[in-house]
Amino acid sequence: TYPCSIYIAETEPTTGKRKVESTWGITRVHHQRSRYIFDLYYKRKAISLELFTYCVKHGHADGTLMAKWKKQGFEKLCCLQCVQPRDTSFGTACICRVPKNKLEEGRVVECVHCGCRGCASSD
C-alpha cells in the first residue's frame, strides 16, 4: 500500500548516499501513486470524476503532473522538476528527457532531481 511505501521511503537510511539521492524514494512513490490514479481515471475509467477530483484536491495525486501527462511528448514524465529550465545548469530540460537514441552509446543517464533513468516519450 502507498502509506506503507511512503513510510519506508521516509525512514530509509541515508548513510552512504549522495544528498540528492535521499529524496528519490519519496519522489518515486509520489509518481507511482499519481500514475495509478491517472490510469484509473483516464485509461481504465474505473473511478468517477468526483473521486478523481477528491484525490487531487487532498494531495493523494499530483494534478499538475497529471495535466502534463495528458500533453503530447510528456506521457512518461517522471517529475515536474525535469521540465523546469530554471532548475538546470544550462537553462534546458533535464538529461532524462533526452531520448536514448540521441545519447552516446552506453551512456547511463540518471536524473539528479528524482533518479529517473529516462522519461522521454520516444523511448
Q: What is the pLDDT of residues 92-118, one digit of tens each?
A: 889 899 898 888 888 888 898 899 999
Please name which of 59, 62, 5 lies closest in space to residue 29, comparing C-alpha atoms: 5
pTM, entire model: 0.86
Dump pLDDT digits (tens) for 40-70. 999 999 999 999 999 999 999 999 999 999 9
Helix, strand, coil abundance in the chain, percent, nearest 5: 50, 0, 50
Query: Are the beta carbons of 94 and 82 closer than 8 angstroms?
Result: yes
Dump pLDDT digits (tens) for 5-36. 877 877 888 888 888 888 899 999 999 999 99
Longest CA–CA span in the chain (Å) reads 47
